[in-house]
């Protein structure tokens, strides 16, 4: 058996060391670290998980067929849609929709297990769904889905969070990123909801919602 030269042994040793380093780096790095939360996303996370506004403004929920609103803290989004936005069917009478943004904004549209179909959501259409219970095609959402009333600022924060729900490890247990100003939020056109979003936020329940 031929004896390897010192140079060959050195080359092999370096190759093994580089391979081991690459493997250990891959194991230790794991998935890419999520970007830090913005102020709006952090505030929206509280609304999603707790049903309360960091500003102290009231947020209420209305269920179809009920005569009164209830505090949203009783029916926060996370109870049915889960921390990852993929739905918790064991917590609801019907299978909740996956509300991760990639699922809601598929370019070719969305088809649900129930057979309901609709075009992809935009941010404005997501606001309409949260406030009035109507999907992008004009279909009524399940009666188990509450219609939420909140200020336009809180709605903007909630939508900002929904754009990254399921990828929010940077927000879990983190401290608020300071008193960041709220971003301006485009009003939903009247052609979509019939009223400015500020009126929807404060209106009493209307029949059929």
Would residue 107 count as lying in a domain? yes
Instruction: State the residue range of the domain holding 111.
Output: 36-202
Number of domains in the chain: 1
Would residue 5 count as lying in a domain? no
Would residue 9 count as lying in a domain? no
Mean residue pLDDT of the chain comes to: 74
- What local confidence, expressed as pLDDT, does residue 5 receive? 63
Would residue 108 count as lying in a domain? yes
Q: Could you give the CA distance from residue 201 to residue 209 in angstroms, rounded to a whole number?
A: 13
Beta strands in the chain (DSSP E): 60-62, 70-71, 110-111, 117-118, 147-149
Would residue 30 count as lying in a domain? no
Q: What is the mean pLDDT of residues 182-187?
A: 40
Would residue 136 count as lying in a domain? yes
Would residue 79 count as lying in a domain? yes
- What local confidence, expressed as pLDDT, does residue 32 receive? 53
Indicate the pLDDT class of residue 184, thresholds 50, 70 and 90: very low
Q: Is the pLDDT of residue 125 over 80?
A: yes
Q: Could you give the CA distance from residue 76 to residue 55 in angstroms, rounded to a whole number?
A: 17
> Higher pLDDT residue, 158 or 35?
158
Task: Look up the pTM and report it.
Answer: 0.67
Would residue 209 count as lying in a domain? no
Positive or negative: CA dihedral 202, 63, 158, 136: negative
Contact predicate 105/126, CB 8 Å: no
């Amino acid at each position: 058996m031929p004896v390897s030269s010192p140079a060959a042994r050195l080359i092999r040793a370096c190759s093994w060391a580089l391979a081991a380093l690459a493997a250990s780096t891959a194991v230790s790095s794991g998935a890419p670290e999520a970007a830090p939360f913005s102020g709006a996303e952090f505030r929206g996370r509280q609304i999603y998980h707790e049903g309360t506004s960091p500003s102290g403004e009231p947020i209420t929920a209305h269920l179809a067929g009920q005569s009164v609103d209830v505090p949203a803290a009783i029916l926060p989004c996370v109870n049915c849609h889960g921390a990852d936005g993929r739905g918790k069917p064991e917590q609801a009478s019907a299978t909740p929709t996956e509300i991760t943004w990639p699922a809601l904004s598929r370019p070719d549209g969305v088809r649900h297990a129930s057979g309901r179909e609709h075009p992809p959501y935009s941010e404005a259409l997501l606001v309409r769904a949260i406030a009035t219970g109507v999907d992008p095609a004009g279909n009524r959402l399940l009666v188990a889905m509450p219609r939420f009333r909140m200020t336009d600022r809180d709605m903007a924060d909630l939508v900002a969070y929904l754009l990254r729900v399921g990828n929010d490890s940077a927000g879990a247990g983190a401290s608020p990123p300071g008193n960041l100003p709220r971003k301006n939020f485009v009003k939903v056109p009247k052609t979509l909801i019939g009223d400015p979003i500020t009126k929807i936020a404060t209106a009493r329940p209307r029949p059929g919602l």
